[in-house]
Amino acid sequence: MNAPTRKIRHFPPSSAWRETLMLLGIAVILAAASWLVRTPRLPLQADLELYQLELGVPVITAAQAVPLYEAGIHVFVDTRDDAFSRETIPGCFVIRQSTFDADLREVFDFLAQDDPLILYGDGNLVLVSPVLERLKERGYTELQVMRGDPDSFRAAGGELSPPLEPEAAP
């Protein structure tokens, strides 16, 4: 009996491209078929506003936040880790994810659980959300998030205060 022999298959570069395009084509067809038969059908164009609703609280623009600030009813909460060393919204409280418990203790006596709070960060809602979730857990109910950062607030006509404690900057 002959011993097994090994044969080498040769792949010209063009065959790799053909294979890649073929697999991609199969995937596109399957994805399209899956999309067509599935109900409810995911719209092809996403509304990014909807994704912000996952925060479970109203998301307002800086332009909407400025009149609320001027009305003086809402409390603004800066969630940036370096909030003390940066310009911020005057009169804000600082509650950061990294030092949440200590920060909340600092302002606890001045914050009622039904005070309307507007949280903001550096423009990334994902970074605001951990603070938001923990405030919810502590019973704060009137929460909103401002999209954008203090610069957006200034661009919308608001004023900023100098860094709260410049020497506290790391």
User: Could you say whether residue 11 binds another protein (CB under 8 A)?
Assistant: yes
Instruction: Measure the CA–CA gap between 157 and 151, rounded to whole angstroms.
Output: 10
Choose the stretch contacting another protein; rule: CB under 8 A; options: 59-67, 121-129, 142-150, 160-168.
121-129
144 in helix, strand or coil?
A: strand
Instruction: Measure the CA–CA gap between 170 and 82, rounded to whole angstroms.
Output: 8
User: Could you say whether residue 4 binds another protein (CB under 8 A)?
Assistant: yes
In the bound state with another protein, the residue whose beta carbon lies nearer, of 124 and 161, is 124
Residues 38-97 that bind another protein (CB under 8 A): 38, 42-48, 51, 54, 97
User: Could you say whether residue 99 binds another protein (CB under 8 A)?
Assistant: no
Give the number of other CB atoms < 10 A from CB of residue 46: 9
Q: How far is the CB of 109 from another protein (least distance, A)?
A: 29
Strands (E), 28-167: 59-60, 75-78, 93-94, 117-120, 143-146
User: Could you say whether residue 168 binds another protein (CB under 8 A)?
Assistant: no
Residue with tokens 């506290």: 168
67 in helix, strand or coil?
A: helix
By CB under 8 A, the count of residues binding another protein is 41
Structure tokens at 116: 């309307």
Q: How far is the CB of 167 from another protein (least distance, A)?
A: 24
Which spans of this chain sit near another protein (rule: CB under 8 A)? 2, 4-11, 15-24, 26-28, 30-31, 34-35, 38, 42-48, 51, 54, 97, 124, 126-127, 130
